[in-house]
Structure 1
Amino acid sequence: MCRTLARAAAAAAIAALALVPGSPAADVPPGDMLAAWPHPKGYVCYRAPGPITIDGDLKSAEWDAAPWSDAFVDIEGDKRPKPQFRTRMKMLWDDEALYIAAELEEPHVWATIKEHDAVIFQDPDFEIFLDPDGDNHTYGELELNALNTTWDLLLTKPYKNGGRALNGWEIIGLKTAVKVQGTLNDPRDTDTGWTIEVRWPWKGLRELATFTGAPRDGDQWRINFSRVEWDIQVNGGQYTKVKNRPEHNWVWAPQGVIDMHRPERWGYLQFSTAKPGTATFKPDPDWPVRDALHRAYYAQHAHHKKNGAFATAADLGLKDIADRLDVRATRTGCEISWLEREAKQPKVRYSITDDARLWKH
């Protein structure tokens, strides 16, 4: 009888919750956000065999040791055609930093923005998103164009959850370089593309995670990459964007929606001390749980949008996982936890809040 009353009280508390100002009222999920999502792509990042010079030139023995990633795809995945031009990346690491290289095929390389921390994606650009602890909150973003103009920013949490971009954040010790295979901003010829090198020091990641040094062998972080491309035409000997056409978004790990700020769908970066080419990416054994909680998170927001209140686990419409979910009211919203019910006493394994923060207990 006491358990029944407790469940009823909890259900009443959850149903009575109204979305507080600043919470993600607009976070209404597309249908595929409620379906199981396959394990994202993974990349094995080997230790650099020697010092790396950041000059934009990828023709070195050090970079030869790093495997290229798969070619980028549309941000929505198979819903959209494959990108017109190839984009791929590779990574290495050492005791001081993470190194990222990228190759962007482009017959007409152009860029106009020269001011640091401007909105770089108004030009064609390359973007890096990094969340070392994989909690969806406090992650870094770096954008750069073919002029090597950069924009580094820290996100307190995703925009859909009311997050803010802190433009004043600077990546300590960051080094970037770009090399154009052709001529920049000259429509009279056909270019091959442009290449990028980035040195992101571990000390430049202190605000994003609790670690104090280089990662360990086997550690996995969440990461993704995006390329913004614009349709252009030539007017008066200069490149101009075709009016009223949105940008193309080509990414390493597809998001399913046009929004890079869904860290739960980013790929995995796995650090390795093995000989380059000998290690295998190991899928995250917790992926099914992480994905299930994100499904519940999106279902909760869909329910709130429709009914003006949060749902209990039974009312989320996720019959395949409902018995593993524990939904509780919090001071500002709700929290959903995944229960290990095989034990004598159900044990909480992971939890997610209504502003998408995820953590392991």
Structure 2
Amino acid sequence: MHVGQVPEPKIEYAPKHYICRRAAEKLTLDGRIDKPFWSTAEWTEDFVDIEGDIRPRPAKQTRVKMLWDDDYFYFGAELIEDQIWATLTERDSVIFYDNDFEIFIDPDGDSHHYYEFEINALNTVWDLLLIKPYRDGGPPVNGWDITGLRTAVHIDGELNRPGAANRMWSIEVAMPWSSLRECAKDTKQPAEGQFWRVNFSRVEWQAEEQDGQYKKVINPDSGKPFPEDNWVWSPMGLVNMHYPELWGYVVFTGEDGPDSFELPQDERIKWELRKLYYRERNYFACHGSFTEHLQALIAEDEHWSIVPSIETTSSLFQISAPSTNGKSRFCIREDGKLWEE
């Protein structure tokens, strides 16, 4: 790839979706998902490899439940595991150096100003705010914290003890809307019928017992640990979680809300604008300028549902297309920001 190019995910646009029901009671956190609080929530599908079907299915099951109320967005995760270990104890450490569980949230779906949260089996957390995806220049704000965050971990087995009868570890997280709404549309928490973009990742390292401890398995060719596995709820089509446009749809409903979700056609329009954004960025990387010619970005045998307008300068571009009802337009620019006007 040329310098400045961004990989275009080679995946059908079919993000997972989840009906997130209103909680019927308050949560007392202990890390367990088998208590009455979670009985009204369905499990997500089992996690898959981050690249999707082109990679083998994960050897260990991971799944999540979600609920919400007026105060919190609740997450419960179950990670089947026969090696339960963690080393990092300081908040805002780079938690994925351990096996971990991660939550990503983009409240308004514009791919800018979104949240990342990571937790290990020691209940050590890392929470940060991303101004933009790394491909668009970031940066991450490590000093940002989820004020009022509540977390708990339950271990079915023994932590950091090779040979123990380990079955799984589970996690409960309660994130207050008072922090999450910071990046939401109109800085409001969701209402019934609305959706936010969310995804989850599990980082799993190859480990072995050495001197009574778990150690990462070293690749003899490189002298470094083998690369970690990345298992996710909604596949990304590439090894990069920071493509918020590919995250799943979490739909907020009442206790007896609808059981299904149909992807709005406007979301398809946004996805086609995203693909043109990748290609316009990559055209610049190859040619040193942007192009206003759609034929330079779309192959002859490709079918597109939109007829976009493209405007460029020497360093900027904006691509737009009408919404489904024709009363507004969706726009995307050179740094990936997408909006409606």
Instruction: Give the TM-score normalised by the residue count of structure 2.
Output: 0.92
> Which amino acid is the alignment partner of residue 336 of structure 1?
I
- Supply the distance in 1 between the matched residues of 2:13 and 2:9 (Cα, whole angstroms): 15
Residue 70 in structure 1 maps to residue 45 in structure 2: yes
Equivalent residue number for residue 6 of structure 2: 28
How far is the alpha carbon of 1:57 from its aligned partner? 1.4
Query: In the TM superposition, what whole-angstrom CA distance separates every residue of 1:85-113 from its partner, at most 9, and x where no partner exists?
Result: 00000100001010000000000100000
Of 268, 274, 295, which residue of structure 2 is paired with 1:314? Answer: 295
Q: Counterpart amino acid of 1:188?
A: G
- Structure 2 residue 178 is the aligned partner of structure 1 residue 200: no
SS in structure 2 of the partner of residue 305 of structure 1: helix
Q: Tell me how far 1:206 sits from its aligned partner.
A: 3.1
Are the equivalent residues in 2 in contact too, given 1:324–1:340 (CA < 8 A)? no
- Per the alignment, residue 287 of structure 1 pairs with 267
The structural deviation recorded for 1:290 is: 1.1
1:175 aligns to what? 150
The 3-state SS of whatever aligns with 1:240 is: strand
In 2, the alpha carbon distance for the partners of 1:284 and 1:340 equals: 11
Structure 1 residue matching 2:135: 3-state secondary structure: helix
Query: Could you tell me whether the CA contact under 8 Å between 1:126 and 1:228 is conserved in 2?
Result: yes
> After the TM superposition, which residues 101-116 of structure 1 pair with which residues of structure 2 at under 5 Å, given as runs?
101-116=76-91
Worse-superposed segment, 217-226 or 299-308? 299-308
Distance 1:237 1:217, change over 3 A: same
Displacement after TM superposition at 1:59 (Å): 1.9
Deviation at 1:318, TM superposition (A): 4.5
Cα deviation digits, residues 206-263 of structure 1 (max 9, x gap): 3212445542111011000000000011111110001131000000000000000000
Q: Which amino acid aligns with 1:268?
A: Y
**Contact kept? 1:142, 1:150, Cα under 8 Å:** yes
- The corresponding residue for 1:4 is none
Asked if structure 1 preserves the Cα contact closer than 8 Å seen for 2:4 and 2:282, the reply is no
Structure 1, gaps ≥5 residues long: 1-23
Q: Within 5 A, what are the aligned runs for 1:335-346? A: 335-339=318-322
* Partner residue of 1:234 out of 209, 212, 220: 209
How far apart in 2 are the matches of 1:257 and 1:323? 25
Counterpart secondary structure, 2:175: strand
| 1:298 pairs with 2:278 | yes
- The corresponding residue for 2:200 is 225
Q: Which runs of 5+ in 2 are unaligned?
A: 220-225
- CA deviation after TM superposition for structure 1 residue 187, in Å: 0.2
Amino acid at match of 1:309: S
- Secondary structure of residue in 2 paired with 1:286: helix
User: Does residue 105 of structure 2 align to residue 141 of structure 1?
Assistant: no
How has the CA–CA distance of structure 1 residues 92 and 317 changed in structure 2, closer, same or farther, with 3 Å as cutoff? same
1:119 alignment partner in structure 2: 94
CA distance in 1, matches of 2:49, 2:266: 26
Task: Identify the range of structure 1 (259-268 vs 295-304) with the bigger mean alpha-carbon deviation.
Answer: 295-304
Give the one of 245, 266, 269 matched to 2:247: 266
User: Matched residues in 1 for 2:305 and 2:296: separation?
Assistant: 8
Identity of aligned residues (%): 45
8 Å Cα contact 2:100/2:202 also seen in 1: yes
In the alignment, the residues of structure 1 paired with residue 57 and residue 339 of structure 2 have an alpha-carbon distance, to the nearest angstrom, of: 34
Q: CA deviation at 1:205?
A: 1.2
Query: After superposition, what is the alpha-carbon deviation per residue over 1:46-73, rounded to whole angstroms, capped at 9, x for unaligned?
Result: 0001111111011211201100000000
Equivalent runs, 1:79-118 vs 2, <5 Å: 79-118=54-93
CA contact (8 A) 2:77 2:171 kept: yes
Q: Secondary structure at the match of 2:57?
A: coil
The 2-side partners of 1:274 and 1:178 are apart by 26
**TM-score (norm: length of structure 1):** 0.87
Query: Distance in 2 between the 1:258 and 1:314 partners?
Result: 29
Q: CA deviation at 1:145?
A: 0.2
Residue 144 of structure 1: CA displacement?
Answer: 0.3
What secondary structure sits across from 2:83 in the alignment?
A: coil
Evaluate the alpha carbon distance shift between residue 100 and residue 54 of structure 1 in structure 2; reply closer, same or farther with a 3 A threshold. Answer: same
- Say if 1:84 and 1:203 are closer, same or farther in 2 by CA, change over 3 A: same
The answer to whether the 8 Å contact 1:152/1:169 transfers is: yes
Report how far residue 283 of structure 1 moved: 1.7
More deviation, 267-276/234-243 = 267-276
1:257 aligns to what? 238
Q: 2:140 aligns with which of 165, 170, 174?
A: 165
